[in-house]
Structure 1
Amino acid sequence: MGDTLNVGVIGAGKISTAYATTFARLPGVAMTRVADLDAGRAAALAGQFEGVRSGTPEELLAADDVDLVLNLTVPQAHAAVALAAIASGKHVYGEKPLAAGTTDARGVLDAAARAGLVVGCAPDTVLGTGLQTARASVEAGDIGTPLAATAFMITPGHERWHPSPEFYYQPGGGPLLDMGPYYLSALVHLLGPVRRVTGVTATPRATREVGSGPNAGTVFPVEVATHVTGVLEHTGGAVTTLMMSFDIWAGQLPRIEVYGESGSLSVPDPNNFTGPVRLFTAATQDWADVPDRAGYRDAARGYGVADLARSLRDGTSPRASGELAFHVLDVMERLLEAAATGTSLDVASTCVVPAPVPLSAVPEPGA
């Protein structure tokens, strides 16, 4: 790899344009190729950007002008595409989750380690000013020792807006595996890894209906839990109450709040890069906004890839790492298992909490 990390995108679906648009304004990262099982869709994305070629996944994997494969396929294909990229000698950055299960995810990380390649994984929203400012506040002791947290994600379901929502309701999907990575990655940054979980799940509806696009009105089966409630014990002793649901129309619940011995912190939506961070302390007895003090300014999807490029130049670990993504997947898998068995379970994996992001415009060496 030279000064620029050349990226080949496999999977030209809805999220791919967001990544491609970000790459166009980021130094150190360039999109060179796009591939998709639908050749027309790949060509349409490539055609929006000068010098980008489209083709088949096999052509992309064999290309010399691709250093990293950005894996934007559906969750069930994440592991297979990642392994093919690694076998082709290319680094991998994937959409979340890392794989549909921890067995496949471990296979990806082990293959990369043997090949001397790096694996990164979304979400990279945790690298923006919202979550990083909240983390800086916790680490500065603004709320004292963290004792507990709450994390809520509620929606009536993605079939209302997504034209092909079936994969959200198949193995590898559901509210926990779909949205949980945003919340759990944020919680690891704020409170450290998770060592024990318990949970309860429900599937109130056996079918769903596509609400938009050419397949509107199509009814399809639900194969996963669509409401998940869990309790997470972090290695530092804090306890998080988590609720992820595709079954709730509306609520006035916080996205994430962290409660300490001397105050509380309101954390912005972890699906976004920015947002207000609010602090309440025993001394002030009032809520106040916390100014930005850490994170990549004006970040967007793709900053995790740029941070990985920075890490390759620095010889450090990427912040949106495969190791963190594996731990998050392990937590989610154990939580669902605990719910199915009516027990609490230890989480065997752990991870290093990623380095904090200094307040900066873009990922660059030394940052």
Structure 2
Amino acid sequence: MSETTSTIDRIRALPKVSLHDHLDGGLRPATIVEIAAANGHRLPTTDPEELRAWFRDAADSGTLVRYLETFDHTIAVMQDRESLARVATEAVLDLAADGVVYGELRYAPEQHLQQGLTLDEVVVAVEEGMRRGEQLAAEAGTPIKVGTLVTAMRHADRGMEIAELALRHRDAGVVGFDIAGAELGFPPSNHLAAFDRLHGDDFPVTIHAGEADGLASIADALHTCGAERIGHGVRIVEDVQLGEGTDAHGLPNATLGRLATWVRDRGIVLELCPSSNVQTGAATSVADHPITVLKDLGFSISVNTDNRLMSGTSLSREFALLVDEAGWDLADVERATITALSASFLPFPDRLALASDVIRPAYASALSASA
């Protein structure tokens, strides 16, 4: 079944939690055009709607490497303090308008130094923009809380430097650390010293793994580097052998390997991104995306957008696609939302308040109305 407007509207009205959203992957096309005109960066087109379509088409290549090339244009317009703050503010407002009540936005400060900013100046500019976005969203009646994940590029050699940067700004909005970029050939353990430093200072870590590389990457992230969550992790399904039918508990008949068993039984949350995974070749379609069978097998899954601009998507759209094409219902949406909130790097009292005061009452009302 194709996506329907009514499904999106229904889900957009519900509170949601976003754990995996790249700041440089969610810019407004009109903003890109405006900043590029001011700084002299050449774009494929200067028409905002044509540019929106270009990003989506360029990302529909089926490979992660080609997908990542689209970021040359977004990063090019995020090189000064004012532009970084503006992009951050708009990202928060866009998430809030989509019904996201808590989000974690990630970005790599080392990619924003081309016009002379220091790493610390980059972080300060982004945090100022985030707080402004929260303020404007609250004034608009769509309150949202946002934390940032400072990311190191896995192919570079700045992991420790970026880890120290994250720690310096941990009380100003930075809530966690990540590594991102080309996965194959650049294992998480290349940055082991940085992860050890962060663990020693009780700082949360999530790691991109199991997207463009397989089980060894996930195991390295978990067992060697101590990740609390896995960014993507879709290829954990390579350690799951599906059988026919269901078992006595109604679960799909399946044999799990040791790593898949570890991930499921310990509740390691996977930051799954259905549309993005289809674009990069990690899944064939949203209908057949492993997220549904992983959900049914008892894995702890969250639903995410990855890069809203490149995928032409929103969190509401991702959930709507799962409802319309993969057979999800509102109870599944609520369960994934609570799972994401529980795995977030938001302090426990804040998580508890969001769950009890905002999320559960909204879904209880929606489920009652649909009964």
Please report the TM-score for the alignment, with normalisation by the length of structure 1: 0.33
Which has more helix, going by share of residues? 2
Which has more strand, going by share of residues? 1
Please report the TM-score for the alignment, with normalisation by the length of structure 2: 0.32
